[in-house]
Amino acid sequence: VPSTYSPQQNTKIKLNFTSLYELLLPLFSPIPTLHHTTAIMSLHVPMAHRTKDQGATKAVILVGGPSRGTRFRPLSLDVPKPLFEVAGHPIIWHCLSSVARVPNKQIQEVYIIGYYDESVFRDFIKDSAKEFPAITIKYLREYEALGTAGGLYHFRDAILKGRPERLFVLNADVCCSFPLDEMLKLFNDKDAEAVILGTRVSDEAATNFGCIVSDSHTRRVLHYVEKPESRISNLINCGVYLFSTEAIFPSIRSAIKRRLDRPSRLVSYPSSDNLENSFVLPDDDDDDEEKKSEVIRLEQDILSDMADNKQFYVYETKDFWRQIKTAGSAVPANALYLQKAAQSDHSEELATPSANIVPPVFIHPTAEVHPTAKLGPNVSIGPRAHIGAGARVKESIVLEDCEIKHDACVLYSIIGWGSRVGAWARVEGTPTPVGSHSTSIIKNGVKVQSITILGKDCGVGDEVRVQNCVCLPYKELKRVSSQLELSDEHPANRVIGCHQRSHHVNEARFYNLD
Q: Write out pLDDT tens, residues 31-65.
A: 333 333 333 233 333 333 334 445 689 999 999 88
Q: What is the pLDDT of residues 193-247, one digit of tens each?
A: 999 999 999 888 888 899 999 988 999 999 999 988 888 899 999 999 999 999 9
Q: How far is CA 455 from CA 75, 76, 474, in A?
A: 6, 9, 7
CB-CB contact of 269 with 331 (8 Å): no
Helix ranges (H only) for 391-509 are 503-509
E strands, 115-193, where?
136-141, 166-171, 174-176
Quick one: what percent of the chain has pLDDT higher than 70? 75
Helices then strands, counting H and E runs in the chain, come out as 13, 32
- Per DSSP, 283 falls in state P
Long-range contacts formed by 128-134: CB under 8 A, 24+ apart: 128/93, 128/96, 132/96, 132/97, 132/100, 134/100, 134/105, 134/108
Quick one: what percent of the chain has pLDDT higher than 90? 55
Confidence label for 271 from pLDDT (cuts 50, 70 and 90): low
Confidence label for 277 from pLDDT (cuts 50, 70 and 90): very low
Q: State the DSSP string of 16-37.
A: HHHHHHHHHGGGGTTS-SHHHH
CA distance 477 to 211: 43
Q: What is the pLDDT of residues 122-144, one digit of tens each?
A: 999 999 999 999 999 999 998 88
Instruction: Give exposure, 173-194, as e/b (b: 16+ Cβ within 10 Å).
Output: bbbbbbbbeebbebbeeeebbb
Peptide bond into 360 cis (omega under 30): yes
**The predicted structure's pLDDT at residue 425:** 95
Instruction: Say which CATH topology domain 57-323 has.
Output: Spore Coat Polysaccharide Biosynthesis Protein SpsA; Chain A (3.90.550)
426-428 and 409-411 beta bridge pairing: parallel
CA distance 159 to 56: 11
Residue 403 pLDDT > 70, yes or no? yes
Confidence label for 90 from pLDDT (cuts 50, 70 and 90): very high
Q: How far is CA 149 from CA 170, 255, 298, in A?
A: 12, 10, 5
CA distance 426 to 412: 11
Comma-separated ranges of CATH 2.160.10.10 domains in the chain: 357-509
User: Minimal CA–CA distance to 237: which of 281, 268, 207?
Assistant: 207
440-443 and 446-449 beta bridge pairing: antiparallel
- Per DSSP, 299 falls in state I
**The predicted structure's pLDDT at residue 442:** 79
470-471 and 426-428 beta bridge pairing: unpaired
Q: What is the number of other CB atoms lying within 10 angstroms of the CB of residue 81?
A: 25
State pTM to two decimals. Answer: 0.78
CB-CB contact of 357 with 373 (8 Å): no
Q: What is the pLDDT of residues 1-40, one digit of tens each?
A: 444 444 444 444 444 444 444 444 444 444 333 333 333 2
Q: What is the number of other CB atoms lying within 10 angstroms of the CB of residue 283?
A: 8
Helix (H) or strand (E) holding 241, with range, is: strand 235-244
- Provide the Cα torsion 5, 6, 10, 12; round to 10°: 60
Comma-separated ranges of CATH 3.90.550.10 domains in the chain: 57-323
CA distance 125 to 122: 5
Q: What is the number of other CB atoms lying within 10 angstroms of the CB of residue 94?
A: 23
Mean pLDDT over 160-166 rounds to 92
Q: Name the residue with higher pLDDT: 81 or 440.
A: 81
**The predicted structure's pLDDT at residue 346:** 67
Q: Which CATH architecture has domain 357-509?
A: 3 Solenoid (2.160)
Q: Name the residue with higher pLDDT: 500 or 199.
A: 199
**The predicted structure's pLDDT at residue 69:** 57
CA distance 224 to 217: 17
Q: How far is CA 305 from CA 12, 251, 446, 487, in A?
A: 27, 8, 40, 42
Q: Is 134 exposed, middle or buried (0-12, 13-18, 19+ CB in 10 A)?
A: exposed
**The predicted structure's pLDDT at residue 46:** 38
CA distance 154 to 143: 10
CB-CB contact of 316 with 329 (8 Å): no
Residue 65 CA to chain centroid, in angstroms? Answer: 12
Confidence label for 148 from pLDDT (cuts 50, 70 and 90): confident
372: left (phi over 0), alpha (psi -120 to 50) or beta: alpha
Q: How far is CA 54 from CA 48, 50, 93, in A?
A: 11, 6, 28
